[in-house]
Structure 1
Amino acid sequence: MKKQDFTVLKIVDLHPFPDNPFRVVEDEMLMELAESIKEFGMVTPIITRPMEDGNGYEVIAGQRRVRACELAGIDTVPAFVLPLDRDRAIITLVDSNIQRENILPSERAFAYKMKLEAMKRQGFRTDLTSPQLGQKLTSVEQLAQKSPNSRTQIQRFIRLTELIPPILQMVDDGKIALTPAAELSFLKKDEQENLLVTMESEEATPSLSQAQRMKQLSQSGRLDMDTIFAIMTEEKGNQKETVKIGMEKLRKYFPKGTTPKQMEDIIIKLLESELQRKRNRDSR
């Protein structure tokens, strides 16, 4: 069967692709898709492959559309049925979904990992020369060519698969950014558990600097619960409260040539003097 030829399949004969990292969330967008399909029909066929046991088809691309059809009360869908082995199916699945904008970091992480492993099993050459760069390409660089993310970002995303589920969920929730999360992924599982306990008790998440220090301490075997607590409870630079007054506002109160440090010292002395005067007045 050529790719341009499609057929109509019953939804009851369709099955999710095993370990599909892309979730189907029944949100407002899915409901709108269901209403659109109900009114206009499904224009783009899904991509499937025959089940190895012959009992139905695995959905490679289009699981959201299948669910939208179910919600719309439609029991058949147009579909391409391609004779793909599992690794080719994984590559097609990832390529068909990775460009979407609303993908969670965890979905992207496991998708990149799955595709990279499939590429290696398929025997993709890792010594291809880029005509633009004139240099050899690694598997990750080849992966980046068909991805919205750079090689470095892809490597960071793949590192997320080493995080324990509760910390990975914090990344999905936007509580921990990608770069510090990738650094935390180098911590041993028990160290991540200790970090999780500390984050929950202190209601804080690590900065990039803190994550890098914990990684270094972990690699040298010196990251215990006390050390994690000490790092997580230190005052971050962006947590220090400051008051900023523009120099143009201050200059008129000081002689020409007064340095910012001298201005600060004078202001502090004046405030201390005024505070002492107020205390003396209140004590009378």
Structure 2
Amino acid sequence: MARKQEIDFELPKLDDLFTTQQERDEAKLKKIHDIPLDQIDDFPSHPFKVMDDEEMLKLVESIREYGVITPAIVRKKEEGKYEMISGHRRKRACALAGIETLRAEVVEMSRDEAIIFMVDSNLQRTKILPSEKAFSYKMRLEAMKRQGKRTDLTSAPLERKFAEARDRIGYEVGESREQVRRYIRLTELIPEILEMVDQEQVALRPAVEISYLPKKMQKTLCEIMDMEQCTPSHAQTIRMRRMLESGKLTEESLLAIMQEEKPNQKERLVLRDSRVQKLFPRNLPAEKREEYIIKAMEYYGKYRERLKESKER
């Protein structure tokens, strides 16, 4: 016997059955208000950066000329103020433009619904930094786990729940489950290294391996990277992680790995001769020695110029 074909359809809402489009539009307009900026708090732990860059300047000029065309989305807080869900850049642009209010729609949302809406609305932007993806994916994943009914994860084992939630996020943002996992791992990096990832100084996969190192070891690695003027390759970070797991990773082994010759390492001058050390003033701090050498070389250069001029006379 042929199996009946399942038909998946969504029942219309009661509002749609008994109201006209004009009435629904009017109801929505009643929720839009000009709210004072000082009455709107930023979304807690908002993962997306609001920068005063060229795009912000364009937005400021647009708002000065046309106002806020698309209302921001806010929700009412218990103490009477509002919480921004979508529109942090518009709020900042209004402040820069000298406008004291923000045109915003007031909606009713739970905390987790607000998190999901906030993340999804910001992920539509053209350029998103790795750190922004990292914390927004993590916030969205945690909200989805709390809303088990939304993702049908309530009866699945814990690891399977996480995997299915990552699949859902990946599908919605156009990335694989594994890529979503990689970005979320970046939240375990210290700020200095995460900033290097945003600036494309450290690639994603090496950064993921570094994220498994303890914070103290990450700090040491960051100092070594600055001293050696290079960043680790993916293969080197894999070795670091394996050495950590076997209990063999130390500050000395980190330094040894980073001192290996690699394509992205800049040429450097190392002065280890005891004769050089004796030339520094006794109480000169180590961090000021480079400046001392530069000034000494500048002084010696001027001396040679004067010597050359005296001979030409």
The two structures have a TM-score, normalised by structure 1, of 0.76
Aligned: 1:107 with 2:135: no
The 2-side partners of 1:49 and 1:226 are apart by 52
Q: Partner of 2:81 in structure 1?
A: 56
Aligned-pair identity in percent equals 48
Matching residue within 47, 52, 56 for 1:21:
47
- How far off is 1:114 after superposition? 0.7
CA contact (8 A) 2:166 2:180 kept: yes
Uncovered stretches (5+) of structure 2, i.e. residues with no partner: 1-14, 16-23, 155-162, 267-313
Matching residue within 240, 262, 265 for 1:214:
240
| CA distances 1:155-202 after superposition (whole Å, capped 9, x unpaired) | 111000001111111111211011110111111222212211211111
| CA distances 1:70-115 after superposition (whole Å, capped 9, x unpaired) | 2222223222211111111111110010121222211111111111
| CA distances 1:255-282 after superposition (whole Å, capped 9, x unpaired) | xxxxxxxxxxxxxxxxxxxxxxxxxxxx
The 2-side partners of 1:120 and 1:179 are apart by 26
CA contact (8 A) 1:21 1:107 kept: yes
CA contact (8 A) 2:230 2:264 kept: no
Matching residue within 105, 113, 119 for 1:80:
105
| CA distances 1:198-221 after superposition (whole Å, capped 9, x unpaired) | 111111100111111111111111
Residue correspondence of structure 1 range 149-164 to structure 2 within 5 A: 149-164=175-190
CA contact (8 A) 1:49 1:84 kept: yes
Gap change, CA 1:197 and 1:125, over 3 Å in 2:
same
- How far off is 1:41 after superposition? 1.5
- Code of the residue aligned with 1:65 in structure 2: it is R
CA contact (8 A) 2:231 2:265 kept: no
CA contact (8 A) 1:99 1:148 kept: no
The 2-side partners of 1:72 and 1:78 are apart by 14
The two structures have a TM-score, normalised by structure 2, of 0.69
The 1-side partners of 2:244 and 2:64 are apart by 55
The 2-side partners of 1:107 and 1:238 are apart by 26
Gap change, CA 1:77 and 1:171, over 3 Å in 2:
same
Q: Partner of 1:98 in structure 2?
A: 123
Q: Secondary structure at the match of 2:84?
A: strand
CA RMSD in angstroms, aligned pairs only: 2.3
CA contact (8 A) 2:231 2:264 kept: no
Gap change, CA 1:104 and 1:237, over 3 Å in 2:
closer
The 1-side partners of 2:226 and 2:265 are apart by 18
- How far off is 1:125 after superposition? 2.9
CA contact (8 A) 1:188 1:218 kept: no
- How far off is 1:4 after superposition? 4.1
Q: Secondary structure at the match of 1:146?
A: helix
- Code of the residue aligned with 2:120 in structure 1: it is D
The 2-side partners of 1:90 and 1:26 are apart by 24
Q: Secondary structure at the match of 1:218?
A: helix
Q: Secondary structure at the match of 2:202?
A: coil
Range with greater deviation from structure 2 (185-194 or 58-67) = 185-194
Q: Partner of 1:170 in structure 2?
A: 196
- How far off is 1:126 after superposition? 4.9
Q: Secondary structure at the match of 2:143?
A: helix
| Higher relative contact order (Cα pairs below 8 Å, separated by 6+ residues) | 1
- Code of the residue aligned with 2:178 in structure 1: it is T
Q: Partner of 1:66 in structure 2?
A: 91
CA contact (8 A) 1:47 1:82 kept: yes
Aligned: 1:117 with 2:142: yes
Uncovered stretches (5+) of structure 1, i.e. residues with no partner: 129-136, 241-284
- Code of the residue aligned with 2:137 in structure 1: it is Y
